Amino acid sequence: MRIAQVSPLYERVPPVLYGGTERVVSYLTEELVRLGHEVTLFASGDSVTHARLEAACPRALRLDANCQDSLAPHLLMLGEVYQRAREFDVIHCHTTYFGLPLTSFTTTPTVLTHHGRLDMHELGLIFCAYPQIAHISISDAQRQFQPGINWAATVYHGLPLDLYPFQSSQAPAPFLLFLGRISPEKRPDSAIRIACQAGLPLRIAAKVDPADQAYFETTIRPLLNHPLIEFIGEVNEEQKRALLGDALALLFPIDWPEPFGLVMIEALACGTPVIARRRGSVPEIVQEGVTGFVCETEEEMVAAVPKVTMLEREACRRAFVERFSVQLMAHDYKQLGKSNAVF
Amino acid sequence: MRIAQVSPLYERVPPVLYGGTERVVSYLTEELVRLGHEVTLFASGDSVTHARLEAACPRALRLDANCQDSLAPHLLMLGEVYQRAREFDVIHCHTTYFGLPLTSFTTTPTVLTHHGRLDMHELGLIFCAYPQIAHISISDAQRQFQPGINWAATVYHGLPLDLYPFQSSQAPAPFLLFLGRISPEKRPDSAIRIACQAGLPLRIAAKVDPADQAYFETTIRPLLNHPLIEFIGEVNEEQKRALLGDALALLFPIDWPEPFGLVMIEALACGTPVIARRRGSVPEIVQEGVTGFVCETEEEMVAAVPKVTMLEREACRRAFVERFSVQLMAHDYKQLGKSNAVF
């Protein structure tokens, strides 16, 4: 099958550091190539792939100091994708609504996987204007703000099985982990309070976007002086693997409608359970009392910390293998093809 | 001729308050209707026009408190425009590069008038990808950042002749005027210093965008306590007319590559000369020693203040009538049609 994978351009595929969407695009693309599909990946030129790479810009935009306008390269890329639509049996976009107006001018079907939150009412208007598009949610919870659009399936993110090796026991000196991005909705402040009250060290491995710099300085930095708290900053894949494998548990005290939360399944892949707040996708990812605890308040999360030692790390790994492998993700997209004739 | 005029959606057409682009779209649209063309105006639903209005959103986005995403309505509108391209002989877009990818799918020619600054390098890449588009600059100076694209013409903005009535003499108590938007590149701080040094009152009639609120509070508000300075805020058309007509001179001490500067020709229409800094379009609009003074430093601008009393207000009006009428603007677009077969 001739598949166009159309990635955002903010990060390379896969990202060097942080970046959930482009990471998932990479895993899916490589798996589709492995399965024998003819995949063309539209992405930043520094991407690394076994698919045919069409470089939409020389470098990923987030870490490119020369980038002044990030929308224009996306529209330029999508323009090319749809000019070449006849070369593909399906166009799989990960670029929110940007390409939708172009879908009217081709009979090649478009599948649009949503990676972000969908609670802006303008989105519903543009989604509904293109009813022929197959929309994919990455959790059932993600659909809540746009119940009326043509949802074709929920396809959970998947990771290669060997990406995060299982670690049967935690590090000798147990610690909790906050991994990802410093921003108000990710609630690093909550993670810090939970760790302090639980009396366990917390390692914070997180990037700070320019937009969140003020929040970091005013709200988070003053909390970092506690002896239990260690701020590491943005980490690469190797550091991430070590941190995830060694942690007693991942703290995920988010307070926003998280569409998926890739870091939760990265933790599970290592055998590390997750203590999370019940928001967005969380109850779909974490199996209460098996792979972690789904809480509402900080008090509940503090109380969950001693309980994670009773969870089996093998059960976490098993849940990951059964529910969140890249093979399953690719399979789900192929199933979609059977019902909707798109993949 | 069947013409689609495609406006930005930030303001209604014409705007209630501030808003240069939508104002010019309105003047051009009404003149084209008057000339007998069949004009379809794609704009916000609260727009007022003699053309056929296609409402791309219920209300203009800038003053709509419900607006969460201003790009989606633009892409939705452009999608509809190009799906209906065969209904038009020409599509005239004022929506920067947003619609360019859609132009590949129609033989109806697109004219794109640029209203903003063009010094972001990503713009050149997307402009050059669509060489069939006729690009219109609103001053020759505007082209400097994108010399390599297909510039079809410079068409200066034009106003209806009766919009701002000529006022033969200034008000009994002379004052200087700063009119427009509070932002660092418009240099209201400079206007305040010039007025104080010249010893004349300055009226500041300007909107403050949320993005510029901090600048206003930290940099401008502390300067407003001077007895010569009066801050009026955002004004409507009637207030603007009175201010422009009564002013001794318009101060336009901008420090950015102004693409056009509509307020300069609004002042000239009233017979009010302009004291401006030599940036962007300024030397093309202001005729030195005839309709105002083109300066570099604040000292030069202070020195120009007593000299404006020697300029003839009739000469300002005459320059406006000869160079910046809506008739001339419409004529220039029609000339374009003769050479490029687009209008």
Q: In this structure, are strands A90-93 and A52-57 parallel, antiparallel, or unpaired?
A: unpaired
Q: Is A84 helix (H, G, I), strand (E, B) or coil?
A: coil
Whether the Cβ atoms of residue A95 and residue A8 lie closer than 8 Å to each other: yes
pLDDT of residue B94: 98
User: What is the rounded distance in angstroms from the CA atom of residue A132 to the CA atom of residue A22?
Assistant: 25
Classify residue B310 by burial, with Cβ atoms within 10 Å: 0-12, 13-18, 19+. exposed
Residue B233 forms contact with A (CB below 8 Å): no
Q: What is the pLDDT of residue B335?
A: 84
Put simply, whether A112 touches B (Cβ < 8 Å) is: no
Nearest residue on chain B to A127, alpha-carbon basis: B76
- What pLDDT shows up at residue A339? 64
Q: Residue A97 is nearest to which of B72, B78, B104, comparing CB atoms?
A: B72
d(CA B94, CA B22): 9
d(CA B54, CA B59): 12
Which pLDDT score is estimated for B170? 64
Count how many pairs of residues, chain A against chain B, have C-beta atoms within 8 Å.
88
Closest CA to A41 of A102, A96, A112, A91: A91
Chain A residues close to B67, C-beta within 8 Å: 122
Average pLDDT (B91-107) is: 97
A342 pLDDT band (50/70/90 cuts)?
A: low
CA distance B212 to chain A (A): 16
- Closest residue in chain B to residue A105, using alpha carbons only: B105
Cβ-based neighbours of B171, under 8 Å, separated by 6 or more: B246, B247, B248
Strand partners, B292: B274, B288
With contacts defined as CB-CB under 8 Å, which chain B residues touch A100? 75, 79
CA A200 remoteness from chain centre? 27
Signed CA dihedral, A126, A129, A134, A137: sign only: positive
Token pair belonging to B101? 């990818």
How far apart, in whole angstroms, are the C-alpha atoms of residue B88 and residue B80? 12
- Could you tell me the pTM of the whole model? 0.90
Extract the tokens encoding A31: 């798996």
User: Tokens 């972001």 — which residue?
Assistant: B120
Give the per-residue pLDDT at B171: 63
Residue of B nearest to A82 (CA): B101
pLDDT at residue A28 in the model: 97
Q: Output the pLDDT for position A19.
A: 80
pLDDT at B174: 92
CB-based contacts of A264: which residues, under 8 Å, 6+ apart? A250, A252, A274, A276, A282, A285, A286, A292
Mean of per-residue pLDDT scores for chain B: 94
Written in H, E and C, the secondary structure of B12-31 is CCCCCCCCHHHHHHHHHHHH
- A279 CB neighbour count, 10 Å cutoff: 20
Q: What are the tens digits of pLDDT across the range B56-76? A: 999 999 888 889 999 999 999
Q: Provide the percentage of residues in chain A whose pLDDT is more than 70.
A: 97
pLDDT of residue A63: 83
pLDDT digits over B161-200, tens only? 999 999 887 667 899 999 999 999 999 999 999 999 999 9
Average pLDDT in the A179-194 region? 95
Give the best residue of A76, A110, A117, A130 to mutate against chain B (max B CB count within 10 A): A76
**DSSP-assigned letters across all residues of B277-325:** ES-TTHHHHS-BTTTEEEESSHHHHHHHHHHHTTS-HHHHHHHHHHHSB
- Which is nearest to A329 in space by CA: A34, A6, A92, A28? A28
Cα separation, A244 vs A263, whole angstroms: 9
Report residue B263's pLDDT band, with 50, 70 and 90 as the boundaries: very high
Q: Give pLDDT tens digits for B202-254.
A: 999 999 988 899 999 999 999 999 999 999 999 988 899 999 999 999 999 99
Report, as an integer, the average pLDDT of A224-244. Answer: 93
Summarised one tens digit per residue, pLDDT across range A98-153 is: 999 999 999 999 999 999 999 998 999 999 999 999 999 999 999 999 998 999 99
Q: Using the beta-carbon criterion (under 8 Å), do B72 and A102 form an inter-chain contact? A: no
Residue B341 confidence (pLDDT) above 70: no
Phi, psi for residue B257 in degrees, rounded to 5: -75, 75
Chain A segment 68-87 residues within 8 A of B by beta carbon are 68-73, 75-76, 78-80, 82-83
In this predicted structure, the answer to whether residue A20 has a pLDDT above a threshold of 90 is no
Q: How confident is the model at residue A14 (pLDDT cuts 50, 70, 90)?
A: very high
Q: How confident is the model at residue A335 (pLDDT cuts 50, 70, 90)?
A: confident
**Inter-residue contact B187 to B169 (CB < 8 Å):** no
Residue B273 has pLDDT above 80, yes or no: yes
Selection from A157, A163, A169 nearest residue A269 by Cα: A163
Prediction ipTM score: 0.89
Average pLDDT, chain A: 94
Position A170 scores a pLDDT of 64
- What is the pLDDT, as a whole number, of residue B168? 83
Residue A97 near chain B (CB below 8 Å): yes
How close is the nearest chain B Cα to the Cα of A34, in Å?
32
The reported pLDDT for the residue numbered B342 is 63
Evaluate the CA torsion angle B60, B62, B63, B68 in order and state its sign.
positive
* Cβ-contact B106, B86 below 8 angstroms: yes
Q: Smallest CA–CA separation between B214 and chain A, in Å?
A: 14
Percentage of chain B beyond pLDDT 90 is: 88
Closest partner CB to A79 (pick from B71, B104, B122): B104
Beta-carbon separation of B126 and A101 below 8 A: no
Nearest residue on chain A to B101, alpha-carbon basis: A79
Burial B325-341 (b: 16+ CB within 10 A, else e): bbebbbebbeebbeeee
Distance CA A43, CA A22 (A): 9
Q: Which H or E run includes A246?
A: helix A237-246
Per the model's pLDDT, the better-predicted residue between A30 and B168 turns out to be A30
Q: How many CB atoms lie within 10 A of CB A297?
A: 12
pLDDT-above-90 percentage for chain A: 89
Closest Cα in chain B to A103: B79
Query: Model confidence over A243-268: pLDDT tens digits?
Result: 999 999 999 999 999 999 999 999 99
Contacts of B70 in chain A (CB under 8 A): 122
A185: confidence class by pLDDT, cuts 50, 70, 90: very high
Coil, helix or strand at residue B276: strand
Compute the Cα dihedral for A128, A132, A133, A135 and give only its sign: positive
Residues of B in contact with A56 (CB under 8 A): none
The shortest C-alpha distance from B209 to chain A (Å) reads 19
